[in-house]
Structure 1
């Protein structure tokens, strides 16, 4: 068990997490550990706002660029990589907006096995009948899990039913809790919604100017279309539709802004449910000092 806490910088996209994490790491002689599921992919740089080497300012960054774009993301695999790394670092600074990945790194989160035959059968039923009858089955088998899953989320409904059938246990028994594996201090960046919407629009515009379309075109040559996760990433999915002639470039850009704003709301909702997150104003002039004070106070509690 770690004695020193894991520091986690969390919050919605475009809030400034990456820069604050570097600032904290520089002051505490720490190292950053990526918890953004899309930054795990090699070559997905512009569209994920991955820090350049210069922007990392000499701070070591771990778990970036580890998967090819054809690989399907696995939070269970991420957990296997993140845990030993966190244990090996004196001051790990976890940074990213993928809430489940943050929880997988620091909380007692279990990932049950899979059964390809059960999964295939349920996915076939989902394709044929839609999510409604599967959701009703889940509600009867595991009301707690059904309450936490949207009735329209066919992928998660299938996964829940697969786990129940495969393990004989409720899916809710494996869902995230707030029981920590490591002591941690979580810093959340609070951005008022109108400002966050504006920051997202500015960021997407900068991504386009920085060559997102060219990046996606190159990744398509490397198999992006075969990647079940990477091909659906924000910005990448929209640019693919533009390159395939389905949308105009202007429409792809506007849809990226809209989808990113919607995603940011889901991120904020996820992190707001965690009572352990210490929220600080993203634009506070003394943000770093306030973050360091929080880390010191909670770390010695």
Structure 2
């Protein structure tokens, strides 16, 4: 027996799961059935011009359903989970104030949690961060990692990359609280129902490979070149996006289109596996087979009080 869904008719419906399972399409179908509007929770779909490589729905594919938080950032800007939290919750409040149903859609796990769950974000201090970055450059990140392990063993055991270690030490210094104390709890900040889409691994792998092929045929390399001219490499978030990082190497003459497509497919499979692990760890998600019959009807059935 699955988790019990909140009875509130205003509960946010979140469509989650691995990339390539059809979350965007189901969100549109649910919005049409429930008189709803969609709030994007895919961090790469925030970016203007990143359309082909993110599988962003075209305007006709949105079928008249209003979509929020698409195309809100320039590729040079860095996505912020805390900023998204405020914007997503404001969008949800606005949708509900209009008497509509809010449908959150996306596979960026932390962004989904930020929109739905009790999750606070510690403040920042650029001067403290700059000092820590300079120290890491001078003495090595290992020294800072050992300092973090002594002060915040939970974060010290969990964090490996330099950026996160520095952030954890910054939070400790700025707030006096360990970074681990800010970890999200599985507690909804507002009534919500999560519907997860997944499918057989081999079917998903074939689907992802076909999707990358469609992206290439649809002009992904031209899109990457256009965004490169607009400052894609300057963006810490956008430049790392699946497909874009690989096809920048094609633009530089360091890779062929075929090699980049294969690298993108492999990276996308790995990403889908991480997403599946993240969302399956949440017992509140109601799972559906993305390829099963009557998908929309089954999803609506989960939402019945």
Common fold: TM-score over 0.5 = yes
Give the alignment partner of residue 116 of structure 2, picking from 106, 131, 136.
106
Structure 1 residue 236: deviation in Å? 0.6
Structural mapping, 1:1-301, within 5 Å: 4-89=10-95, 90-127=100-137, 131-149=141-159, 151=160, 153-296=161-304, 300=305
Cα pair distance change 1:126/1:245, threshold 3 Å: farther
* Aligned-partner Cα distance in 2 for 1:13–1:122: 35
* Aligned-partner Cα distance in 2 for 1:251–1:80: 40
* Aligned-partner Cα distance in 2 for 1:197–1:131: 37
- Are the equivalent residues in 2 in contact too, given 1:3–1:183 (CA < 8 A)? no
Shift >6 Å, 4+ stretches: none
* Aligned-partner Cα distance in 2 for 1:219–1:3: 41
The count of residues paired between Structure 1 and Structure 2 equals 294
Gapped regions of structure 2 (runs ≥ 5): 1-7
User: Which segment is superposed worse, 111-120 or 283-292?
Assistant: 111-120
* Aligned-partner Cα distance in 2 for 1:101–1:247: 32
Cα pair distance change 1:125/1:261, threshold 3 Å: farther
* Aligned-partner Cα distance in 2 for 1:57–1:254: 32
Q: Structure 1-normalised TM-score?
A: 0.93
Q: Structure 2-normalised TM-score?
A: 0.92
Question: 2:3: which partner in 1?
Answer: none
* Aligned-partner Cα distance in 1 for 2:204–2:131: 42
SS state of the match for residue 61, structure 2? coil
Structure 1 residue 288: deviation in Å? 1.0
- Are the equivalent residues in 2 in contact too, given 1:42–1:67 (CA < 8 A)? yes
Cα pair distance change 1:131/1:197, threshold 3 Å: farther
SS state of the match for residue 213, structure 1? helix
Please, what is the CA RMSD of the aligned residues? Answer: 1.6
* Aligned-partner Cα distance in 1 for 2:78–2:224: 17
* Aligned-partner Cα distance in 2 for 1:112–1:38: 23
Structure 1 residue 238: deviation in Å? 0.7
* Aligned-partner Cα distance in 1 for 2:116–2:81: 13
